[in-house]
Structure 1
Amino acid sequence: LRSRGLIAVKVWCLVILLVFTFLGGVSPYFYRWNEAFLLLGTQFAAGIFLGTALMHFLAGSTSTFNALTHSPYPFSFMLACAGFLLTMLSDVAIVAVANRQRVNQAAPIQKEAEEEGESASAAAHAHPMLMTATSSFEDAILLIVALCFHSIFEGIAIGVSATKGEAWRNLWTIGLHKIFAAVAMGIALLRMIPKRPFLMTVLYSLAFAVSSPVGVGIGIAIDATAEGPAADWTYAISMGIATGVFVYVAINHLMAKGYRPQQPNYFDKPIFKFLGVLTGIAVMSVVMIWD
């Protein structure tokens, strides 16, 4: 690490991420958020994520690689592709596991119905609570695992930050997304399992809140064990991979899926979503003037 002050800043980032993400996750249990705010805020966060990935992470990785090697090979862009594919692969694996579990658990119900001379639809009617509970629980686990996996890689970006300013800027970028994601996750879980006790709300939110701080800790450990050129290589590689992770999350999770209002909403239109993303990118473009 460069200094004790830098370590302290990263630890503060870790604590701030943990506290505010946790509070965002449990907040829907107590407070009904404005859906237009969440809808547009998620798209704004997508713009922040995309702008950070391309203007900050990718640019930093590219310039560091250029200083380390004279090879014309586009290392940072290759690593960005690797980060994108790695995140995509994690989503594919999680969905495949969840779908297989759904099939395995639905088979006994269908078999029982066939033995009694009933159709599969009749079986679903005969066991509505069982099938709904199973599906909701799996959806909740899938949501948590996917969010936590991405969040760990996002946290690493803070942990390997080279300066205090960069650490605070990465905290702002990631924290903005995490708070919106935590609130949206809390609302989604309330829809999936509306009768779950408060303890489950706390456990789900804590699992999501801890993921990014874990990534920050990993990043700090990586940075602490690397010195000289090794530290520069670590930074360049980490930022390249983080670029791909951020681009995937921005496009496939925030823009494509985003927050879905429970009720029809005037702002749930492509033009407003575009303006939300545009605003996020514009903000990052201005911030990068002082980078």
Structure 2
Amino acid sequence: MSSCYSTQTFNYNEAAHIGALFTILFTSFAGTSLPVVAKRYPSLRIPSFALDAGRAFGTGVVIATGFVHMLPPAITNLSNQCLPYFFTNTYNSLGAAVALAAALSIQLLEMSSTVILNRMISKRNIQQPTDNCEIPSNLQSLSTDKVTTAVPLLDQSSYETTIATASGYKLKMLVIIFEMGVAFHSVIIGLNLGVSTGSTFRTLFAALVFHQFFEGFAIGTTVSEAQFGIWITVFMILCYSLETPIGISIGMGIANSYQENSTASLITRGILDGVSGGILIYTGLVELLTYWFTRNSHFVNRNSLYIFSIIGFVWLGAICMSIIGAWA
């Protein structure tokens, strides 16, 4: 048990870690920016298949990150033998329970927001006819039944517009939830890289370069589709780009005194991994995979070859990220 409180002693290569920090910063920024630039500047003529394939690959990366990279360490950290009896014997599935709670909480948040938004829309649609109760002069000569037939046609257009508004709000909320899940996870993996050395550092660094680019591509795709203003879009890109470098900086700062198996470290990392895993699993399966592909009428009405080729990239992203899970 003495290993639970021992600090690491090693030859720390600070220059390599600084180089890794800026490399991952650039990679994260490039992956997130690419779909946003492609959406805002159609003149670049990036093939739609390439964008859909990148989106699908990124979706697979996100799902695999939740299942393979976040859930197992959450369970392992919160059942580590260095923790009190409750964690090791009484309830050693706490990591999975945290992930479950996070996923259900995100669903509750999304559902509550949708219910409130729908009630606001219904209230607006009910009140709207009373705001325009004056009958136009060209309709005053018509019979009452003809007038009442004409008015709902005007309301229907407004109703369809508010449904489109609801969809836009939901997509914006999806992006915010997605960013929340990724934020915890990005800081944690950055911290792990910041305190690692030797072959572990080199392997983890290579895995994170790949991971950050394609996860960033998935985020950039959702941000571009949500049609935020330019400054909010830039802010979200910068947030994702800086999260892992911030984690690396923290890791570099505490590397000489970091106790990986201390009670505080294990519980903190386990809870954050569990929360991140639950959010990423829910977001990847329910929001990204379902929203972009399973129930996207524009996508499912394409020809079969196109559909299954794109879904193949979802699998490819998940497989590649699962393989990387052997090292990161």
TM-score higher than 0.5 here? yes
- Whole-angstrom distance in 2 between the partners of 1:64 and 1:138: 40
Equivalent in the alignment of 1:206: 234
- Whole-angstrom distance in 2 between the partners of 1:268 and 1:91: 34
- 1:99–1:218 Cα change, 3 Å: farther
Contact 2:26 2:241 in 1 (8 A): yes
The offset of 1:84, in angstroms, is: 1.1
Q: 2:286 aligns with which of 232, 248, 252?
A: 252
SS of the equivalent of 1:256 reads helix
Contact 2:67 2:277 in 1 (8 A): yes
Equivalent in the alignment of 2:314: 277
- TM-score in terms of structure 2 length: 0.67
- Whole-angstrom distance in 2 between the partners of 1:268 and 1:112: 51
Equivalent in the alignment of 2:171: 143
Structure number with larger C-alpha Rg: 2
**1:288 and 2:322 correspond:** no
- Whole-angstrom distance in 2 between the partners of 1:120 and 1:242: 52
Contact 1:152 1:215 in 2 (8 A): no
Equivalent in the alignment of 2:66: 53
SS of the equivalent of 2:282 reads helix
Equivalent in the alignment of 1:125: 154
The offset of 1:78, in angstroms, is: 0.5
Contact 2:60 2:313 in 1 (8 A): yes
Contact 1:152 1:212 in 2 (8 A): no
- Whole-angstrom distance in 1 between the partners of 2:33 and 2:56: 21
Unaligned runs of 5+ in 1: 190-199
Contact 1:48 1:284 in 2 (8 A): yes
Equivalent pairs: percent with the same residue?
Answer: 14
Give the aligned CA root-mean-square deviation in angstroms: 3.9
SS of the equivalent of 1:265 reads coil
Q: Deviations over 1:119-154 (max 9, x none)?
A: 5873452684x6566554553343223212221221
- Whole-angstrom distance in 2 between the partners of 1:220 and 1:87: 27
Deviates more, 1:241-250 or 1:134-143: 134-143
Equivalent in the alignment of 1:159: 187
**Number of positions where the alignment pairs a residue of Structure 1 with one of Structure 2:** 279
Q: 1:234 aligns with which of 257, 268, 273?
A: 268
- TM-score in terms of structure 1 length: 0.74
- Whole-angstrom distance in 1 between the partners of 2:22 and 2:318: 28
- Whole-angstrom distance in 2 between the partners of 1:26 and 1:39: 15
Q: List aligned pairs for 1:180-191, cutoff 5 A.
A: 180-183=218-221, 185-187=223-225, 189=227
Contact 1:60 1:239 in 2 (8 A): yes
Unaligned runs of 5+ in 2: 1-7, 136-143, 195-200
Structure 1 letter corresponding to 2:127:
P
- 1:50–1:180 Cα change, 3 Å: closer
- 1:262–1:91 Cα change, 3 Å: same
